[in-house]
Structure 1
Amino acid sequence: MKIVVIGGTGLIGSRTIAKLTEHGHEAVSASPSSGVNTLTGEGLADVLTGVDVVLDVSNSPSFEDAAVLDFFTRSTTNILAAEKEAGVKHHVALSVVGSQNLPESGYMRAKVAQEKLIRDSGEPYTLVHATQFFEFVNSIAGAATVGQDVHLSHALIQPIAADDVATAVARATAGEPLNGTLEIARRDWR
């Protein structure tokens, strides 16, 4: 199976490509460094030629409310249009557990908008919702540190390792479209 991974050079994308390749799939990374710009659509038609599945694990370079919404809506719109033109059979996207429950977060509103575009596209899809990655705990604590004090939310979290996310995403990508959502958290998906 030929699979294009949008965001294939990132934390989850690179690990997912390795897992898909181990299982005999042709997994191709698509990112600005490989000449694919999902915001402008540049390179999408070429990279999607002969592709069976698109996996989108890309992330916005900015977390400012308007910028992140623009990134996910424009990028997803361009990817879906190029997929339709190329005859791609399955769209898989990585999102966040509970995104619909945090409307005060601009990032979560953007992920909800992205998911709606995918669901409303009429194309076969699978959404994978993951909890926060263990690999980001240090940067979360760092961003919440003022002097010697760390100010963290009282919210409970259930972090998951990036390798486990990559395994779940690879399985969803190689599988049949769910036309729904798979939620994963530390070992819950096994």
Structure 2
Amino acid sequence: MKVAVIGGTGLIGSQVVTLLDEAGHEAVPHSPSTGLDLLSGQGVADAVRGADVVVNLTNSPTFDDASPAFFRTSMNNLLAAAGDAGVGHAVVLSIVGADRVPDLVYYRAKVLQEDLLKAGPVPYSIVRATQFFEFVDAVLSWTSDEDTVHLPATLVQPMAAADVARAVTDVSLGAPLRGTRDVAGPEVFALDELGRITLAAHSDDRKVVTDATAGMFAAVPGDALIARGDAVIARTTYRDWLNRRRG
């Protein structure tokens, strides 16, 4: 099977390419570094030509009001080319609970991306994942200074990027879901608690201040980002991941 992995050189994409190759499939990574420009359409037709499956792992460069335009243009260009090429399965990575956080423009943009895929010409699958362990340090940096890190008590259920990549790979190799599969980590944390665990693991003596107004995740209501129903629960815990990373 030939799989075009759009965004195939990134955190998730590079791991998906490796997993597909190890399973005996032909995974071809595409990104700006390989000459692909989803916004202009440059290289898109070449990227999907001959592919059985197209996996879209690209992301908007910003989380602001520009993100809907990015996802609209990139998805329209990719779906048009995939439809013309007769691709049999299109897979997109999205976010658990994206439709439950209307106050975040980036989450609304991800729902727009999903809706475009559903309405498009190619049989589809959507993989919705929770936040990645690998991004926790960045989240802390958004609202920190030399002495403190301000975080809301927003509930999150993070997971390892490696587990996300496995979930995407599994879906890519199956029949189109024509629906959504949620994947999530095995533990639920309040974000301020997760911050304290992270700082302790880094021997960072800054103090976490619980602040309901701090950062992007302050806009998330209740348990909106927690997986529900028949979500696939990954095995890697945050502390195990931290320990392996330190080792």
Q: More relative contact order in 1 or in 2 (CA 8 Å, sep 6+)?
A: 1
- TM normalised by structure 1 equals 0.96
Residues 129 and 184 of structure 2 are in contact (CA less than 8 Å); yes or no, is this contact kept in structure 1?
Answer: yes
Number of equivalenced pairs: 189
Residues 55 and 90 of structure 2 are in contact (CA less than 8 Å); yes or no, is this contact kept in structure 1?
Answer: yes
Distance 1:24 1:134 in 2: 28
Cross-structure match for 1:189: 232
Cross-structure match for 1:95: 94
What's the C-alpha RMSD, in Å, of the aligned pairs? 1.1
The equivalences for 1:1-190 within 5 A come to 1-65=1-65, 67-186=66-185, 189=232
* Residue 122 of structure 1: how far off its partner (Å): 4.0
Residue deviations 1:40-88 (CA, integer Å, cap 9, x gap): 11001112111000000111112222x1111111000000000001000
* Residue 121 of structure 1: how far off its partner (Å): 1.1
Distance 1:113 1:153 in 2: 27
User: Which residue identity lines up with residue 31 of structure 1 in the other structure?
Assistant: S
Distance 2:119 2:48 in 1: 21
User: Which residue identity lines up with residue 232 of structure 2 in the other structure?
Assistant: W
User: Which residue identity lines up with residue 32 of structure 2 in the other structure?
Assistant: P
* Residue 123 of structure 1: how far off its partner (Å): 2.1
Query: SS of 1:165's equivalent?
Result: helix
Bigger shift: 156-165 or 137-146? 137-146
Query: SS of 2:232's equivalent?
Result: coil
Distance 2:92 2:67 in 1: 16
Q: Which ranges in structure 2 are unaligned for 5 or more consecutive residues?
A: 187-230, 234-247
Residue deviations 1:157-177 (CA, integer Å, cap 9, x gap): 111000000000000001110
User: Which residue identity lines up with residue 52 of structure 1 in the other structure?
Assistant: D
